C-alpha cells in the first residue's frame, strides 16, 4: 500500500517506515496516526518481516511531536479520544510481537518521543534531541509518555523531564536510560540496519515469546511473571526452531530458523 505521510521500504527481513512530513518536522497528525495503525497491521501479518525500523524524513527530525494546529482545537471530549487513539496505536506498536527500532535521526519530542518509547529499542544519532515538552503548551503527554518514561527511568527523572519540558541530548538520554545506543549521525542508518540484521537472524517465535515475557511481566508480580515465563518456555519448546537451534549447536553450524 501507499501512504500520504509514511514511506514503507522492505530490505530483506527488515521493514523501514519513514515519517514523511519534513516541512512539519514529521509531526504526527490524525491522518498519520491512522496510517501508522494500518501499516502496523500489515507488518504484523507479514511473516517475512522480522524487524521494523522507524525513522524520520529529512535531517532535522525523527518526529517533532503532535500537530500543534490539531492540539489547539481539542475539547475535553475530543482531547480524551485523541489521546486514547494514539495510545491504542502505540500499544499496538509495543505489542507487535517483532522487534522495533526507533532510528532517532533528529528531534524526538512529545509524540515523537512517545513513539520512540513504544519501540523495543531506541538508537539515537549523537546529534539527536529528545524530550516531553508538552508542559510548555499547557498540556501533558497523551500518547503514553508519562507511563513508559517513568517505567524506563523512574518517576523522579521522568517528572524532571515532563515538568520542566526540557530537551536532552542523545548522550544524556543514554545516561538516563531511555536510549539504547548512541551512534555517530553519519552512520546511524548503517548501524541500525546492521543491528536489525542481527535481530532478524534469531528464531522469530523465540523472539516473540521473549518480547511477551518481558512486556507482560511488567504488569505482573515476580511469581506471576515467572509462571508466565515458564508457560512461554513450554510453548517455545514445541517449535521446529527450538529443535533446529539445539541441533545446530550440537552440530557446530549456524541455525536456519523458519519461524515454525
d(CA 44, CA 49): 8
What is the domain range of residue 105? 6-200
192 and 80, same domain (yes or no): yes
Tell me if 83 is assigned to some domain.
yes
Q: Quick one: pLDDT at residue 65?
A: 85
d(CA 173, CA 161): 11
Distances (CA, A) of 62 to 105, 122, 187, 216, 226: 5, 11, 15, 28, 36
Overall average pLDDT of the 137-159 stretch: 96
Tell me if 260 is assigned to some domain.
no
* Percentage of the chain exceeding pLDDT 70: 100
Q: How many domains does the chain have?
A: 2
Kindly report, residue by residue over 230-240, the tens digit of the pLDDT.
Answer: 999 999 999 99
- What's the CATH code of the domain at 125? 3.90.226.10
175 and 228, same domain (yes or no): no
Backbone angles phi, psi at 87, to 5 degrees: -60, -40
Tell me if 255 is assigned to some domain.
no
85 and 178, same domain (yes or no): yes
User: Which band of pLDDT confidence, cut at 50, 70 and 90, is reported for residue 86?
Assistant: very high
Tell me if 107 is assigned to some domain.
yes
113 and 190, same domain (yes or no): yes
User: Which band of pLDDT confidence, cut at 50, 70 and 90, is reported for residue 252?
Assistant: confident
Q: Quick one: pLDDT at residue 253?
A: 86
User: Which band of pLDDT confidence, cut at 50, 70 and 90, is reported for residue 245?
Assistant: confident
Kindly report, residue by residue over 178-189, the tens digit of the pLDDT.
Answer: 999 999 999 999
pTM here is 0.94
Q: Quick one: pLDDT at residue 59?
A: 87
Between residues 68 and 80, which one has the greater pLDDT?
Answer: 80
pLDDT higher than threshold 80 for residue 1:
no
Q: Quick one: pLDDT at residue 41?
A: 95
Catalytic machinery residues: 114, 134
Kindly report, residue by residue over 87-137, the tens digit of the pLDDT.
Answer: 999 999 999 999 999 999 999 999 999 999 999 999 999 999 999 999 999
Overall average pLDDT of the 138-155 stretch: 96
pLDDT higher than threshold 90 for residue 254:
no
d(CA 60, CA 105): 7
Amino acid at each position: 500500500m501507499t501512504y500520504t505521510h509514511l514511506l514503507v521500504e522492505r530490505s530483506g527481513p527488515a521493514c523501514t517506515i519513514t515519517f514523511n512530513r519534513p516541512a512539519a518536522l514529521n509531526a504526527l497528525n490524525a491522518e498519520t496516526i491512522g496510517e501508522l495503525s494500518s501499516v502496523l497491521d500489515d507488518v504484523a501479518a507479514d511473516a517475512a518481516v522480522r524487524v521494523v525500523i522507524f525513522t524520520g524524513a529529512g535531517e532535522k527530525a525523527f518526529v517533532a511531536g503532535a500537530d500543534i494546529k490539531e492540539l489547539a482545537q481539542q475539547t475535553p471530549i475530543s482531547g480524551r479520544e485523541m489521546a486514547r487513539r494514539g495510545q491504542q496505536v502505540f500499544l499496538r506498536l509495543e505489542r507487535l510481537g517483532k522487534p522495533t527500532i526507533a532510528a532517532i535521526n533528529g528531534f524526538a519530542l512529545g509524540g515523537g518521543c512517545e513513539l520512540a518509547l513504544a519501540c523495543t529499542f531506541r538508537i539515537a544519532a549523537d546529534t539527536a534531541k529528545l524530550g516531553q515538552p508538552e508542559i510548555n503548551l499547557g498540556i501533558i503527554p497523551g500518547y503514553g509518555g508519562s507511563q513508559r518514561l517513568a517505567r524506563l527511568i523512574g518517576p523522579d527523572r521522568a517528572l524532571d523531564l515532563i515538568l520542566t519540558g526540557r530537551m536532552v541530548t542523545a548522550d544524556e538520554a543514554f545516561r538516563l536510560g531511555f536510549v539504547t545506543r548512541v551512534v555517530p549521525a553519519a552512520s546511524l542508518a548503517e548501524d541500525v540496519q546492521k543491528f536489525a540484521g542481527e535481530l532478524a537472524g534469531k528464531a522469530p517465535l523465540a523472539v516473540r515469546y521473549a518480547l511477551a515475557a518481558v512486556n507482560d511481566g511488567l504488569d505482573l508480580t515476580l511469581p506471576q511473571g515467572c509462571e508466565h515465563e515458564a508457560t512461554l518456555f513450554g510453548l517455545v519448546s514445541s517449535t521446529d526452531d527450538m529443535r533446529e537451534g539445539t541441533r545446530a549447536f550440537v552440530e557446530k553450524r549456524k541455525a536456519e530458523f523458519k519461524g515454525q
